[in-house]
Copies of this chain bind each other. A is one copy, B any other.
Amino acid sequence: MMDWKKMKGIVPTIVQEENTGKVLMLAYSSKKSLAKALREMKGVYYSRSRKRLWVKGESSGNAQKLKKAFADCDNDSLLFVVKQKGSACHTGGKTCFFKEIALKQSRLESKGAE
């Protein structure tokens, strides 16, 4: 069902917290990890660095209950809606997306009045 070929067997998987709507992390799913996630209703992913199945929280205790899962229109990415125990990020932050990048609005409009 998913397009596993596009990225050589994995698809990016957005993880969103159910009750807050916060985007917690971006992980990757393999065919095997997705099957296990759906079956066990848990945050289970494929770790690119360790090259193996990764049950989120297996060492940290910060596990995720999988509440809903969605495929996108092209079947090349996933969205997991989860209940997060503790923090999602290995730095201890609730979410991995805590580094805000400054927007640099163009000043062209206000330059050279007249």
Contact = CB atoms under 8 A, between A and B. Distances in A.
Contacts of A74: 96
B66 A79 contact: no
Given A12-B12, A23-B16, A105 B71 contact: no
Counting every copy of the chain, the complex holds: 2
Contacts of A78: 101
Interface of A: 1, 12, 14, 16, 21-23, 25-26, 38-41, 66, 68-75, 77-79, 89-91, 93, 96-106
A86 to B, nearest CB: 15
A79 B25 CA distance: 9
Given A16-B23, A23-B23, A23-B79, A70 B41 contact: no
